[in-house]
A and B are shown apart, each in its own frame.
Chain A
Amino acid sequence: MFTFPWRLERRGILGMNRRNISYISRYNPRRLYPLVDNKLKTKLLAQKAGITTPALIGTVQNQHDVSLLADLLRDVPGFAIKPAKGSGGKGILVLSRHDDEQYIKNSGALVTLAELQRHVSNILSGLYSLGGSPDIAIIEELIEFDQQLGGYSFEGVPDIRVIVCRGYPVMAMMRLSTRNSDGKANLHQGAVGVGLDIATGRPLKAVQNGLSVERHPDTGRELSELVIPQWGQLLELAARCYEESGLGYLGTDMVLDRRYGPMLLELNARPGLTIQVANGCGLLPRLKIIDALSDADVARPAAERVALSRQWFAAQPELKTGA
Chain B
Amino acid sequence: MNIGPFSFTRIPFFLLVGFLLVIGIVLTLHRHWMYEVPLVYGETQTIWSVEAKVEFNAHGGPVKVSMARPSAQDGFTVLKEAGASPGYGLNFMDGNEPRAEWTVRGAKGKQELFYRAEILVSQMQSGADLPPPSIQPVSWPEPYASAVNEVLAGAYATSADNYSLTRELLKRFQEDETAQHIELLRTHYADQLPELWVDMLHKARVPASVVYGLNLQDGRRRQNLTPLLRVWNGNDSEIFELPGEESNASLLLAADAPLLLWEQRGAPVLDVTGGTDSSIRFSMLKREESTYANIAENLSSQHDFLNFSIHSLPVEEQAMFKTILLIPIGALIVCILRIIIGIRTSGTFMPVLIALAFIQTSLVTGLIGFLLVVATGLFIRSYLSRLNLLLVARITAVIITVIAIISIFSVLSYKVGLTEGLKITFFPMIILSWTIERMSILWEEEGGREVMVQGGGSLLTAVLAYWAMSDPWVRHLTFNFIGIQFIVLALVLLIGSYTGYRLLELKRFKAFGS
Which of A90, A121, A127 is the most central at the interface, judged by chain B CB atoms within 10 Å of its CB?
A127
The answer to the question of A189 belonging to the interface, with a C-beta cut-off of 8 Å to chain B, is yes
Q: Are B500 and A5 in contact (CB under 8 A)?
A: yes
**In the complex, per-residue mask of B479-510: 1 if CB is within 8 Å of any chain A CB, else 0:** 00000000000000000011111110111111
A18 at the interface (CB under 8 A from B): yes
- The smallest beta-carbon distance between B493 and chain A, in angstroms, is 13
C-alpha gap A280/B388 in the complex (Å): 45
Chain B residues bordering chain A, tally (CB within 8 A): 28
Do residues B499 and A5 form an inter-chain contact, with CB atoms below 8 A? no
Interface pair A5/B506, CB less than 8 Å apart: yes
A320 CB to nearest chain B CB (Å): 18
Contact B390 A21, beta carbon cutoff 8 Å: no
B residues in contact with A188, CB < 8 Å: 446
Contact assessment for A189 and B446 in the assembled complex, using a CB-CB cutoff below 8 Å? yes
* Given A15-B502, A63-B390, A118-B388: A8 and B509 interface contact (C-beta under 8 Å): yes
Contact with B along A1-42 (1 / 0, CB 8 A): 111111111010101111001100000000000000000000
- Least CB distance, A85 to chain B, in whole angstroms: 14
Please give the distance in Å from A318's CB to the nearest CB on chain B.
Answer: 23
Q: Which residue of A lies closest to B510 (CB)?
A: A3
A284 to chain B minimum Cβ distance, whole angstroms, is 11
In this assembly, does B445 line the interface, its C-beta being within 8 Å of a C-beta of chain A? yes
User: Is B511 among interface residues, defined by CB-CB distance under 8 A?
Assistant: yes
Asked if residues A18 and B4 are in contact (CB atoms below 8 Å), the reply is yes
Known interface pairs A5-B2, A8-B509; A15-B501 also in contact (CB < 8 Å): yes
What residues on B are CB-neighbors of A22 within 8 Å? 4, 499
- B392 within 8 Å of A (CB atoms): yes
Complex CA gap A2/B501 in Å reads 12
Cβ A21 vs Cβ B4 within 8 A = yes
Binary contact readout B1-23 vs A (1 if CB under 8 angstroms, 0 otherwise):
11010000000000000000000
Q: How far is the CB of A258 from chain B (nearest CB, A)?
A: 30
Closest residue of chain A to B394, judged by CB? A125
A226 within 8 A of B: no
Return the contact of B500 from the options A4, A7, A18 (Cβ within 8 A): A18
Question: Is B208 in contact with chain A by the CB < 8 A criterion?
Answer: no
Interface positions, chain A 240-293, Cβ under 8 Å from B, are: 276-277, 280, 282
B contact residues around A18 at 8 Å (CB): 4, 499-500
Tell yes or no: A132 within 8 A of B by CB: yes
Given that A21-B499, A282-B512 are contacting pairs, would A16 and B507 also be in contact in the complex, using a CB cutoff of 8 Å?
Answer: no
How far, in Å, is A82 (CB) from chain B's closest CB?
Answer: 14
Q: Is A311 an interface position by the 8 A CB rule? A: no
**Contact, CB under 8 Å: B501 / A127:** no
A106 at the interface (CB under 8 A from B): no
> Nearest Cβ in chain B — how far from A12, in angstroms?
9
Would you give 22 A-B contacts (Cβ < 8 Å), ordered by A?
A1-B507, A2-B507, A3-B507, A4-B506, A6-B1, A8-B501, A8-B506, A8-B513, A9-B2, A13-B505, A13-B509, A15-B499, A16-B342, A17-B501, A17-B502, A21-B4, A90-B445, A118-B388, A121-B390, A125-B391, A210-B508, A282-B512
Closest 3 CB pairs of A and B: A3-B513, A125-B391, A18-B499
